[in-house]
Amino acid sequence: MKWVWLGVIAVVALALAVLAGPAGLWPNATIVRDLRLPRALLAFAVGGGLAVTGAALQALIRNPLADPYLLGLSGGAGLGAVLAITLGVTGTWVLPVAAAVGAMAAVWLAYRLAVAASGLLDTRILLLAGVVVSAFATAIVGALLAVSPMAELRSAFLWMLGGFDASSWRALAVFGLYAVLPMLVLFASARDLDLLSLGEEPALFLGAEIEPLKRRLILAATVLTAAAVAVAGMIGFVGLVVPHAIRIVSGHAHRTLLPASFLLGGTLLVLADLIARTVVAPIALPVGVVTALVGVPVFAVLIRRQAT
Amino acid sequence: MTRVRAFLLFISITACGPAAVRDGPLVILDDMGRTVTFAAPAQRVVSLLPAFTEMLFAIGAGDRVVGRSRFDEDPAEALQVPSVGDGLGPNVEAVLARTPDLVLIYRATANNEAVAQLERLGVSVIALRTDLLNDVPRTARLLGRLTGTADSAEVLARVFENALDSAREVPVMVDAPSALILAWDQPPIVIGSGSFQSELVQLAGLRNAFAEVGQPSAQVSLEMIVASDPDVILTTSTDSIPAWARRPEWRAVRAVREGRFVRFDGTAFGHPSFRALHAVRLLQARVAP
């Protein structure tokens, strides 16, 4: 029953975001077809993808604060974008591609650090390595931004803040191309994630192939998040909080947690983007601001309900 | 809404109002509402906004400028003056190293901390908001009094005011072409009527497509740009087709599809200083078919 409701709300959110907007109800076909429709679908796909990634990483690392950007992604993406601009590479898709490459490079580095000690992947070290790699990359970005007179570098900074202003059918297609396979991998790992969230040792005794599983999960989470960064910059909060909200309402089994997180994450981001564009139109708020403004009270209510 | 705006205008006029002149020490009320007293005209000025630096050189106080922000590159003589780095959130130590007796800074939240610090360290700071064309003569006169060049500042201020008045006498056509002033492409940031750039566009016989935005600039969604359907897009890009215009989502904007871009770059467009009105003629020439 909860499923049906989530699905209905998701469809309503998408329909609202296509029909309504800062330019009014159905202003003209161009706005609806070329801007609103791809934007709403992209926001839904990115929000859903981030929430699924967050849910998987929280189980893998067994840390409730895990989010899709934790493993060095955020710093790496920023550094990739800023480096590309500093090196004078220009072109329409330079920023997204460089950010995605930087994000994956950072996770790879964090992964190498985490397996360096024993040859096996220690997720606690992976967590620390991710934070450290990200901090290092962010420091380099800060230094480059401070010394560079180039206005273009500020663009990398503004862009990294995240948003769906660069939505188009092509951006949606690019995201789909890179996100579908990792998403399927994560959905297919639902049972393994159940085992992993018990702890690695119990999971091992219960027959999970721990090491390849962890590699597969990290690879899928990284590609998925890097694709999200490429099309929408850094969108916080969704990947962290949505999985927890679903756990509170419908429990910890990943077979329902992952799809439900996808629906709720997508819905939340579509609505947040709609509100961000319309509430003080013609001025637009950054979508991250609205995601937290809408999401935190809802989450607070859920926590209270769980407590009583 | 209009009443709120009128009230804000009243506040800003009183805040920017004529600084009191008395016999003896010079008492200046700046745009942060701070009163600063000067016993004598400033001899060592650190100027942290391109418009201030340009005006100081124009009114004959260029030899008093001992420090500038790294973006102050006009006039050419200004480049001889050592740079102290950023003008927004300046490096207080670098400013102090120039041993100034006056620091001129843009009034912005990002500068509040620097103003407080410099004040604590006993340096006289004047924070000024220069967003609109009316601020140009006002600022010029203030700088003239602060540096003991009030007479030449007055002449230039008058010349500017006369030129501004006659430019404003030309009525704006009802069917004037609308212009989108794009400050940034992703996220789209447009110039609103709170900026002198919007005034420049209007004086050039165009209509700011986002005049309803009262702030100097604001982030908007692409959908609003499509809906406002500007006839031309003013951009700082020097390419005939800016890089951002090649992205698919921008094709929804008619002016992008028709390639109607007008360059809006350089110091005349960028700084609210004496040369700003020159930008009006440049713009008219560039927009003319």
For residue B288, the tally of other CB atoms under 10 A from its CB is: 8
Q: Residues of B with CB below 8 A from A159's CB?
A: 186
Q: Searching chain A, which residue's CA lies closest to the CA of residue B89?
A: A146
Q: Is the pLDDT of residue B205 over 80?
A: yes
pLDDT tens by residue, B114-151: 999 999 999 999 999 998 999 999 999 999 999 999 99
Contact B184 A155 (CB under 8 A): yes
Is the pLDDT score of B58 beyond 50?
A: yes
Mean pLDDT of chain B: 86
Q: At what angle do helices A210-232 and A169-188 cross, to 10 degrees?
A: 160
Q: What distance in Å separates the CA atoms of residue B120 and residue B240, rounded to the nearest whole number?
A: 50
Note the pLDDT of residue A2. Answer: 72
Q: How far is CA A34 from CA A28, A151, A166, A279, in A?
A: 10, 29, 11, 22
**Contacts with B218 from chain A: Cβ below 8 Å:** 282-284
Q: What is the least distance, in Å, from the CA of A235 to any CA of chain B?
A: 14
pLDDT at A1: 61
pLDDT > 60? residue B20: no
| Nearest partner of B247 among A49, A171, A71, A111, judged by Cα | A171
CA angle A285, A287, A291 (to 5 degrees): 120
Q: Quote the tokens at residue A103.
A: 């994000």
pLDDT greater than 60 at residue B3: no
Closest CA of chain A from B188, distance in Å: 7
Q: Note whether A168 contacts B223, CB cutoff 8 Å.
A: no
A171 touches chain B (CB under 8 A): yes
Predicted-complex ipTM score = 0.79
Q: Which chain A residues are within 8 Å of B222, Cβ to Cβ?
A: 35, 165
| CB-CB under 8 Å, B243 with A286 | no
pLDDT greater than 70 at residue B289: no
Asked whether the beta carbons of residue B220 and residue A282 sit closer than 8 angstroms, the reply is: yes
Contact A288/B at CB under 8 A: no
One-character DSSP codes across A17-61 = HHH--TT-SS--HHIIIIIIHHHHHHHHHHHHHHHHHHHHHHHHH
A34–chain B Cβ distance below 8 A for any pair: yes
**Confidence tier at B2 by pLDDT (50, 70, 90):** very low
Q: Which of B71, B187, B215 sits opposite A165 (nearest CB)?
A: B187
User: Looking at the DSSP assignment, which residues form a beta bridge with residue B38?
Assistant: B26
Q: Is A84 on the interface with B (CB under 8 A)?
A: no
pLDDT of residue A150: 65
Q: What is the pLDDT of residue B23?
A: 53
With beta carbons less than 8 A apart as the criterion, state whether A237 and A292 touch: yes
Separation in Å, CA of B239 to nearest CA in chain A:
13
Which pLDDT value is given to residue B151? 93
Q: Does residue B213 have a pLDDT over 60?
A: yes
To the nearest whole Å, the CA of A147 is away from the closest chain B CA by 9
Question: What gap in Å lies between CA A292 and CA A290, rounded to an integer?
Answer: 5
Encoded tokens for B141: 């006169």
Mean pLDDT split into 10-residue runs, chain A, 308 residues: 85 94 86 93 96 94 87 87 80 80 92 84 88 92 78 71 88 92 95 89 81 91 91 89 90 92 95 92 87 84 77
Taking 60 as the threshold, does the pLDDT of residue B31 lie above it?
A: yes
The pLDDT assigned to A220 comes to: 94
Q: What are the respective helix, strand and coil percentages of chain A, to the nearest 5?
A: 75, 0, 20
Q: What is the pLDDT of residue B5?
A: 44
* Confidence band, pLDDT 50/70/90 cuts, at residue B110: confident
pLDDT confidence of residue B21: 45
Tokens 């999971």 map to which residue?
A203
| pLDDT tens digit sequence for B223-252 | 999 999 999 999 887 777 888 888 889 999
pLDDT on residue A151: 66
Say yes or no to pLDDT of B19 above 60: no
